[in-house]
Amino acid sequence: MRTESALTAGPGDFFVAQPRQVLLDAAKVCGHFGPPTNPRGKYMSLKRRQFITTAGIGALGAAIASPAIAQSAPEIKWRLASSFPKSLDTLFGGAELFARTVAEATDNKFQIQVFGPGEIAPAFGVVDAVQSGQIEMFQTAFYYFWGKDPTFCFGTAVPFGLNARQSNAFMYQGGGIDLFNDFLKAYNIIAYPGGNTGTQMGGWFRKEINTVADLNGLKMRTAGFAGAVLSKMGVVPTSVPGADIYPSLEKGTIDAAEWVGPYDDIKLGFNKVAPYYYYPGWWEGSAMLHLGINLDKFNALPKNYQAILKSAAAYANGDVMARYDALNPAALKQLITSGTKLRAFPQPVMEASYKAAQETYAEINAKNPTFKKIYDAYMAFRDDEYLWWQVAEYNYDNFMIRRPK
Amino acid sequence: MRTESALTAGPGDFFVAQPRQVLLDAAKVCGHFGPPTNPRGKYMSLKRRQFITTAGIGALGAAIASPAIAQSAPEIKWRLASSFPKSLDTLFGGAELFARTVAEATDNKFQIQVFGPGEIAPAFGVVDAVQSGQIEMFQTAFYYFWGKDPTFCFGTAVPFGLNARQSNAFMYQGGGIDLFNDFLKAYNIIAYPGGNTGTQMGGWFRKEINTVADLNGLKMRTAGFAGAVLSKMGVVPTSVPGADIYPSLEKGTIDAAEWVGPYDDIKLGFNKVAPYYYYPGWWEGSAMLHLGINLDKFNALPKNYQAILKSAAAYANGDVMARYDALNPAALKQLITSGTKLRAFPQPVMEASYKAAQETYAEINAKNPTFKKIYDAYMAFRDDEYLWWQVAEYNYDNFMIRRPK
């Protein structure tokens, strides 16, 4: 068994070995493209045979080497539309890391150009644009597409759902990726986790929330699933674009607004117009991003490019979370220094929210079997996770937070 | 700007474009290997020129295509020695996932064969074997090498250190990877995070621990940093190989033993010979694995292979954690059903342990500036992390654990 590196086995060995392997690859290529899986595949196969014949015996090396490259390293340029503005550098940076990793792993042969919202697709139009094949990829938070089907929310966050590490466990080792991609097939999309924000904050409030009754009539900038649950407690969810939140809070057009967490929120200056910063954002115990790909285009990729995409997405998935964890502490300190008053939602508010979420789940489950299928798997997984979490993880964090200083 | 996929642009376009790209690559290759960075590089460069000359004009394609493959897709076979037995499928499985990802991403051109401890290197000999170049890679927990230098522990876990997500934040976005690889240069090794167990359990005890005094004289299977701290409280750390822990606990040769957590521990049957299962393992609030590579061999790789290794390691890093999180809950349930008594270390025991750890840190810092350099960065990062953690993350988990059921 030869286990030494080809690079260390000596150059003679290396150069003798190379053409032999290429021959084997050429054989594999012919097998790969025949029977062709699509009309293009067939045409390519014919073209290759033609090329080999034309080149003749004298250029055997060329004839053999070229198909090997054609199989595993075609030049591809894709476009990725992000739903996040470049100013959210943690999120947008995850898409950039992903694209850079794919480019580096393929010697720049597979290039994915990353665009901000509105450049090639609207922020909330990225699913449509990839479904139709207008563009190849997106980076998004699937819960934006709650209006199409609330099942999309399981890709990002649902009220009282999994925390960030548990979301990874569900996706990578709890069958979540397959379950979610089964759902996405109807949209001709395959997606992989591509980042997380961790537990988000509950948002900025102009007045303190002391009782459940204080929520009644509260005009709050929020949307989707969170809005549906909050409205059961009398909150009036209002849709306000990011740039308009600050003036709306300042004027009192809205009473509260939730965005992400310290690092992202401080950029928009909410601390200057709302004194109370509540936690936790129970509607997103974590918020997972996804990198979505047109399914036909994914299937048409060579297997090695598919592997590179999956691996680079997993890299970005961990890296975005690391960015938030590394950047949030300094932003939190800055907020506290600037006078922001941190407040936990009172326990009765948390419990009323939990009850309202259960009612909302029951309503959706009753009429949406697609939702219920993932709901059942997801919630069973969540209950098991927290059974385990309360032991070592939680108690370690608990001591570390309260440790002697 | 051409943004269409080469695969969708039509086969004609594709095949015309291909040879042109190969020419450009050949030019890059010559630049890459000259000036040579090592004697082998120089020799390879000469050989390649010879090969091109011999092939002659008639085989121009071969002469051009072959170096392109040499640059970005050479055939390489490496060997990776894991410090973990195959029976620890969560850990060993991480090395297998890593190797499989690299193979898939390179169309099986870069193959890394994974070996268990003792097959090509002893479990605790993997650093020596990779440093000397006898093998190319290892998968290990760096704290096994505490005896060489306690600085190694920062690669895995230190008492009252970062939890798993915070470890990722430190490594990927807090400068940790570079800081740690600076340290590893002296061993001619570069390493990337490659998995985590999460917070480990405190271990199996034959008798309850109610006071700090109960630790005095306790013979406990543990090692390294944990042993040094525990011995300050009167514990007698004893080194017992995995297979001997069960009979030693059964006979009372030892009073306690720590291993990992429910999923791994139940395999060794500790629950049958020790009734009390303590948490948390404060000496490993998380335990990070690393995939280590001989630095010369890493530097000799084409850039795209380096990128593939880094990305596959990050994939494995997240995946091993996901495995533990997905598998621990069922094992915990099984332990509780079998009569295991879960116990939290009493707060005074935690505080005495914390104090003993601070004393140990002070002693090491006083004589080891390499340790102190990473210690200062690591602990400042940890304090910031827990400042932030106590807000949204901790309170979300707290509610989820105590939520109405």
Contacts of B312 (CB under 8 A, 6+ apart): A311, B98, B101, B102, B105
Which runs of consecutive H residues, i.e. helices, occur in B201-346? 224-231, 242-251, 262-267, 295-299, 303-337
Q: Is residue A193 domain-shared with residue A312, that is, in the same domain?
A: yes
**Domain identity same for B190 and B112:** yes
pLDDT at A24 over 80: no
Are A60 and B59 an interchain contact pair (Cβ–Cβ within 8 Å)? yes
Compute the half-sphere exposure of residue B48: CA atoms within 13 Å on the CB side of its CA. 26
**A200: chain B residues, CB-CB within 8 Å:** 392
Looking at residue B239, its pLDDT comes to 85
Tell whether A188 is covered by a domain. yes
Residues B140 and B183 in one domain: yes
Using only the alpha carbons of chain A, give its radius of gyration: 25
CB contact residues (below 8 A), chain A span 185-214, against chain B: 198-202
**pTM reported for the whole predicted model:** 0.84
**Domain count across chain A:** 2
pLDDT score at A105 = 98
- Using the 3D structure, point to which of A54, A72, A90 is the last residue of a domain: A72
- Structure-token pair, residue B55: 């092939």
B281 touching A (Cβ < 8 Å): yes
pLDDT tens digits, B100-143: 999 999 999 999 999 999 999 999 999 999 999 999 999 999 99
- Residue in A15, A47, A325 closest to B11 by CB: A47
Mutant choice from B113, B399, B405 vs A, greatest count of A C-beta within 10 A: B399
The residue in chain B having the minimum alpha-carbon distance to the alpha carbon of residue A313 is: B315
* Nearest residue of chain B to residue A403 (CA atoms): B351
Answer whether A77 sits within 8 Å of B166, measured CB to CB. Answer: no
Provide the chain A residues 124-183 that lie in CB contact (below 8 A) with chain B. 136, 160, 163-166, 168-174
- Of B268, B265, B218, B217, which Cα lies nearest the Cα of B247? B268
CB pairs under 8 A between A and B: 390
| HSE, side-chain direction, 13 A CA sphere, residue A111 | 12
CB contact under 8 A, A7 and B300: yes
Q: Please indicate, yes or no, if residue B273 is contained in any of the structural domains.
A: no
Reference B298, options B191, B215, B157; nearest CA is B191
Do residue B388 and residue A47 have CB atoms under 8 angstroms apart? no
Residue B296 located in a structural domain: yes
**Do A170 and A307 belong together in one domain?**
yes
Q: What is the mean pLDDT of chain A?
A: 85
Mean pLDDT of A248-264: 96
CB contact under 8 A, A105 and B105: yes
The residue written with tokens 């970062």 in the block is B162
Closest CA to A109 of B308, B62, B111: B308
Range of the domain at B57: 33-72
DSSP lists the bridge partners of residue A203 as A278
DSSP single-letter state for residue A345: P
Across the interface, whether the CB atoms of B391 and A351 are under 8 A apart is answered: no
What local confidence, expressed as pLDDT, does residue B71 receive? 61
> Is A351 contained in some domain?
no
Spatial distance between the Cα atoms of B175 and B179, rounded to a whole number of angstroms: 6
Both B67 and B83 in one domain: the answer is no
B241: tokens are 């190989």
Last residue of a domain, one of B324, B349, B381: B324
Distance from CA of A88 to the nearest CA of B (A): 16
Q: What is the band of A260 on the pLDDT scale with cuts at 50, 70, 90? A: very high
Please state, in angstroms and rounded to a whole number, the distance separating the CA atoms of residues B51 and A19.
12
What per-residue string of b and e applies to B255-278 under the rule 16 or more CB within 10 Å gives b? bbbbbbbbbbbbebebbebbebbb
Q: Which of B43, B202, B314 sits opposite A314 (nearest CB)?
A: B314
| Test the B interface: residue of A1, A2, A4, A5 with most B CBs within 10 Å | A5
List b or e across A81-114, with b for residues whose CB sees 16 or more CB atoms inside 10 angstroms.
bbbbebebbbbbbbbbbbbbbbbbbbbebbbbbb
> Does the beta-carbon distance from B384 to A11 stay under 8 Å?
no
B352–A contact, CB cutoff 8 A: no
User: Residues B94-121, buried b or exposed e (16+ Cβ, 10 A)?
Assistant: bbbbbbbbbbbbbbbbbbbbbbbbeebb
Interstrand relation of A256-257 and A276-279 (parallel, antiparallel or unpaired): unpaired
Rounded CA separation B356/A323 (Å): 32
A107 located within any domain: yes
Query: Given CB atoms, is A38 within the 8 Å cutoff of chain B?
Result: no
Strands B276-279 and B203-205: antiparallel
A284 pLDDT more than 90: yes
Query: Could you tell me if B21 lies within 8 Å of chain A, comparing CB atoms?
Result: yes
pLDDT tens profile A129-187: 999 999 999 999 999 999 999 999 999 999 999 999 999 999 999 999 999 999 999 99
B392:A15 CB<8 A: no
Chain A touched by B276 (CB under 8 Å): no
Give the CATH number for residue B87: 3.40.190.170
Answer whether B114's CB lies under 8 Å from B95's CB: yes
Of A68 and B184, the one with more pLDDT: B184
Per the CB < 8 A criterion, the answer to whether B19 and B60 are in contact is no
pLDDT digits (tens, 9 = 90+) for A25-45: 222 222 222 222 233 333 233
The closest alpha carbon to A391, from B195, B233, B341, belongs to B341
**Same domain, yes or no, for B167 and B103?**
yes
Contact (CB, 8 A) for A31 and B105: no
Considering only alpha carbons, which residue of chain B is nearest residue A11?
Answer: B44
Residues 51-80 of B with CB under 8 A from A: 51, 55, 58-66, 68-79
- How far apart are alpha carbons A310 and A312 in whole angstroms? 6
Low-confidence ranges of chain B (pLDDT < 50): 1-70
B17 lies in some domain: no
Q: Which residues of B touch A38 (CB under 8 A)?
A: none
Question: What's the gap in Å between the CA of B37 and the closest CA on chain A?
Answer: 13
Integer angstrom CA distances of residue A25 from A188, A302, B17, B55: 31, 13, 21, 21
Q: Are A184 and A58 members of one domain? A: no
> Are A96 and A145 in the same domain?
yes
Does the beta carbon of B243 lie under 8 angstroms from any beta carbon of chain A?
Answer: no
Q: In chain A, which residue's Cα lies nearest the Cα of B331? A: A388
Looking at beta carbons, which residues of chain B come within 8 Å of A72?
Answer: 73, 106-107
Please give the Cα distance from B22 to B12 (Å, whole number).
16
> By the 8 A CB rule, do B162 and B382 touch?
yes
The answer to the question of residue B365 being in a domain is: no
Q: How many CB atoms lie within 10 A of CB A322?
A: 25
pLDDT of A57: 36
Beta carbons of A303 and B384 less than 8 Å apart: no
**What value of ipTM does the predicted structure carry?**
0.84
Considering the domain architecture, whether residues A169 and A133 belong to the same structural domain is answered as yes
What residues contact A323, with CB distance under 8 A and at least 6 apart? A90, A93, A94, B169, B173
Angle at B9 between CA B3 and CA B15, to 5 degrees: 115
Looking at the complex, does the CB of residue B89 fall below 8 Å from at least one CB of chain A?
Answer: no
Residue B104 lies in a domain: yes
What are residue A391's phi and psi, to 5 degrees?
-85, -95
d(CA A390, CA B280): 10
Interchain proximity A285–B396, CB inside 8 Å: yes
Which pLDDT score, from 0 to 100, does residue B42 have?
30
For residue B178, what are the contacts with CB-CB under 8 A and spacing of at least 6?
none
How does pLDDT run across A198-209, given as a tens digit for each residue?
Answer: 999 999 999 999
Q: Write out pLDDT tens, residues A361-395.
A: 999 999 999 999 999 999 999 999 999 999 999 99
Residues A28 and A168 in one domain: no
Mean pLDDT of chain B: 85
Distance CA A220, CA A229 (A): 12
- Those residues whose C-beta lies under 8 Å from the C-beta of residue A405, and which sit 6 or more positions away, are none
Q: Which residue of A has its CA nearest to B17?
A: A75
- Both B48 and B89 in one domain: the answer is no
Q: Region A298-322: what's the mean pLDDT?
A: 98
Residue numbers in B near A397 (CB within 8 A): 163, 386, 389, 393-394, 397
Residue B99 amino acid letter: A
CA angle in degrees (0–180, nearest 5) for B258-B342-A405: 70
If asked whether residues B101 and B157 sit together in one domain, one would say yes
| Structure confidence at residue A71 (pLDDT) | 61
What are the tokens at B153?
A: 């522990």
Find how far residue A12's CA is from the centre of its chain: 46
